[in-house]
Amino acid sequence: MPRTLIAIHAHPDDEASKTAATVARYAREGVRCILVTATGGEEGEYLNPSFAGRDPADLPDLPELRARELARSAGIIGYQEVISLGFRDSGMAGTAANADSGSFAALPLEDAAKPLVELIRRERPQVVISYGENQAFYPHPDHIRVFEAARTALQLACDPLAWPELGDAWRVPKWYWSLWTRERFEAVAKELANRGIEPPFRMQQRDGDDHLVTTRIDVSGTLAVARDALLAHESQIDPSTPFWFAISPEEMAAIYPFEEYHLVGSAEEEEENDLFAGVELS
Ligand SMILES: [Zn+2]
């Protein structure tokens, strides 16, 4: 039975800014890695200043460009398959797009979860990664919906009475939330300060998920892959952003070589260092 991991993200670029180094590591170890991206990021804007000042008529269509960037990033990370669910971006919290009845966050939860149930039953992953419950700092409706849809899908995928036409029930043994820890931020901020660079104000205000860490993955070997994946999102990423790019992957590996996760329902007292720890593969 192959080791299979499914990562569920909200928009093109989320797969590069979160979980990328971890997935890259497992992909290089031969794990079948599948990316789900819920929306096309239609509500995004050109965020890279290199696009500024260009005649809007000369700019490529943003959703098309973002789909190409997503494909490039996923290829760099090592995903074997990219599944774009095709839901509509709901926009940042408080924007007019939230009210669009066709948006991902506005759809009935079961509609959002159904394609995930079908995928889980088909692929029988041992590991699913999504966002977590606590998204108070960045309450993007699509990110909150990824959490809710993942939770519902994992419950229904193992219920043989739910959508039996979608395949045999499958219980995913390990569901992880990707985390944002203060520990990591402080390490980056300290290194930036050593170089006279002010760490981003927004990040300084943010509480961390440190108390939720159950699992710490050493990603020292794939931080460069994650950086390259992020740079593939040309329209979204300013390559001069110090927070992401001032510290090289090699330097980062020396400062803080981990990505952290929360294993849902874990009763283990000891931290894990492998997403597949304890999984039976027969
Ligand atoms: Zn996003």
**Residue 276: inside a domain, yes or no?**
no
One-character DSSP codes across 112-133: HHHHHHHHHHHH--SEEEE--S
Q: 38 is in which domain, residue-wise?
A: 4-263
Give just the sign of the alpha carbon dihedral 164, 166, 168, 174: negative
Q: What is the DSSP letter of 95?
A: S
As given in the structure block, the two tokens for residue 102 are 């066709």
d(CA 104, ligand 1 centre) in Å = 12
d(CA 91, ligand 1 centre) in Å = 9
**Residue 165: inside a domain, yes or no?**
yes
d(CA 157, ligand 1 centre) in Å = 25
**Residue 20: inside a domain, yes or no?**
yes
d(CA 38, ligand 1 centre) in Å = 10
Please identify every residue whose CB atom is under 5 Å from ligand 1, which is an ion. Answer: 10-11, 14
Mean local confidence (pLDDT), 95-110? 89
d(CA 143, ligand 1 centre) in Å = 6
The tokens 């088909």 sit on which residue?
Answer: 122
The residues with which 32 forms a beta bridge, in sequence order, are 4
Contact 213, 271 (CB under 8 A): yes
**Residue 272: inside a domain, yes or no?**
no
What's the pLDDT score for residue 52?
Answer: 83
d(CA 218, ligand 1 centre) in Å = 24
d(CA 177, ligand 1 centre) in Å = 15
Q: Quote the CA–CA distance of 260 and 222 in Å, as a whole number.
A: 14
What's the pLDDT score for residue 179?
Answer: 97
**Kind and range of the H or E run holding 218:** strand 215-218
119: domain CATH number? Answer: 3.40.50.10320
Q: Quote the CA–CA distance of 164 and 157 in Å, as a whole number.
A: 9
pLDDT digits (tens, 9 = 90+) for 189-204: 999 999 999 888 777 8
Q: Residue 28 half-sphere exposure, CB side, CA atoms within 13 Å?
A: 14
Of 59-73, 86-100, 117-131, the range with the lowest mean pLDDT is 86-100
Q: What share of the chain is helix, strand, coil (3-state, %, to 5)?
A: 40, 15, 45
**Residue 277: inside a domain, yes or no?**
no
d(CA 141, ligand 1 centre) in Å = 9
CA 151 to chain centre: 15
Mean local confidence (pLDDT), 48-55? 85
pLDDT for residue 107 is more than 90: yes
Contact 201, 189 (CB under 8 A): no
Contact 181, 260 (CB under 8 A): yes
Q: How many domains does the chain have?
A: 1
**Residue 95: inside a domain, yes or no?**
yes
d(CA 229, ligand 1 centre) in Å = 15
**Residue 273: inside a domain, yes or no?**
no
d(CA 132, ligand 1 centre) in Å = 13
d(CA 101, ligand 1 centre) in Å = 19
Average pLDDT over the chain, rounded to an integer = 94
**Residue 278: inside a domain, yes or no?**
no
What's the pLDDT score for residue 25?
Answer: 98
pLDDT digits (tens, 9 = 90+) for 240-254: 988 889 999 999 999
What's the pLDDT score for residue 204?
Answer: 80
d(CA 44, ligand 1 centre) in Å = 9
Q: Quote the CA–CA distance of 274 and 41 in Å, as a whole number.
A: 31
Q: Quote the CA–CA distance of 20 and 227 in Å, as a whole number.
A: 9
**Would strands 215-218 and 258-263 be described as parallel, antiparallel, or unpaired?**
antiparallel
Phi and psi at residue 238, in whole multiples of 5°?
Answer: -85, 110
pLDDT digits (tens, 9 = 90+) for 126-166: 999 999 998 888 889 999 999 999 999 999 999 999 999 99
